[in-house]
Structure 1
Amino acid sequence: MLQRIQTIYLLLAAAVSGGLCMYLPYGIDANGVALYAKGELFLLGMFLGSAILSLISIFLFKNRKLQFVLGRINILLNFILLGVFVYWSLTVSGETQVSEKGIGMIIPVISIVLLVMANKAIKKDENLVKSVDRLR
């Protein structure tokens, strides 16, 4: 059932993680050049991994428990990515690689919010199915 609300949340999370990371800089270096995730292989892999997990869990609508677990793994992946950004922004000593923070550092936060809302909707569906099964 692809017309559920969690599909929209997961699709938005995939678009934010996979698409916006290419266009929003996560920082500005000492020379004033914007730093994008496509320049860092680790960041690109984390963002694309999050987008792929969101897309995979869209098509697992028949297995809601696995969909819920993949949502939790995706949230954990985004928390790791957020931790990397926080670590980089706090360990700036003088003018190292990242001189200023960019708006791309909030992409994991937006993705986490969307994934939590999707997981709440998945859990609501699972509880609804369980309640109908009790009546039979």
Structure 2
Amino acid sequence: MIQRIQTVYLFFVMLISGILPFWVNLWSDADGTAIFAKNDILVSGAFYLSAFLALIAIVIYKKRKNQFVLNRLNLILNLFLLGFFVYRSLNLSGETTVSEKGIGMLIPIISIVLLVLANRAIKKDEDLVKSVDRLR
């Protein structure tokens, strides 16, 4: 059903990954220009893909196993995105002039936490359905 708690988690992942990176800066260059997700095509593509995977996971609520697998793929995508941000932040710190890390670098962490919570709820539903099937 669409009114389950994992749908709420996935909806938040969709909103956070689809909208927030384009409003919050990811990092600032040495000369003070803020870099958003729309400035880098690969980063914006990864955020859009994460939001799209969350939307697809919401739509296929009847197939819990496929939803679980899709959330894991989304989780891996967000881990790669987080790894890119960590790599980028380590490169930024070695500059001769001071550059800032933005709050937007935390977006994959929030998405990962919400995806783990959604997968936990999906697993709980799947276990509940299996236990009811045993009673028949």
TM (norm. structure 1) is 0.96
1:106, 1:46 → 2: CA distance? 15
Partners of 1:95 and 1:22 lie apart in 2 by 28
Q: Secondary structure at the match of 1:80?
A: helix
CA offsets 1:8-41 (integer angstroms, 9 cap, x no match): 0000001001110110000011111111001100
Aligned positions of 1:89-100 closer than 5 A:
89-92=89-92, 93-95=94-96, 99-100=99-100
Indicate the residue corresponding to 1:30 in structure 2: 30
| 2:72 maps to 1:72 | yes
Q: Distance in 2 between matches of 1:95 and 1:46?
A: 30
Whichever residue aligns with residue 6 of structure 2, its letter is Q
RMSD, matched Cα: 1.3
Offset at 1:100? 1.4
- Mapping for residues 1-136 of structure 1, pairs under 5 Å: 1-92=1-92, 93-95=94-96, 99-136=99-136
Report deviation, 1:94: 1.4
- 1:106 CA displacement: 0.0
Consecutive unaligned residues in structure 1, runs of 5 or more? none
CA distance in 2, matches of 1:109, 1:62: 27
3-state SS in 1 of match to 2:129: helix
For this pair of structures, how many residues does the alignment match?
Answer: 135
Amino acid at match of 2:107: I
For 1:37-83, what per-residue CA distance to the aligned partner results, in whole angstroms no more than 9, with x for missing partners? Answer: 01100000000000000000001111100000000010100000000
Runs of 4+ in 1 over 4 A off after TM superposition: none
CA drift of 1:95 comes to 4.8
TM-score (norm 2): 0.96
| Runs of 5+ consecutive residues of structure 2 not aligned to the other structure | none
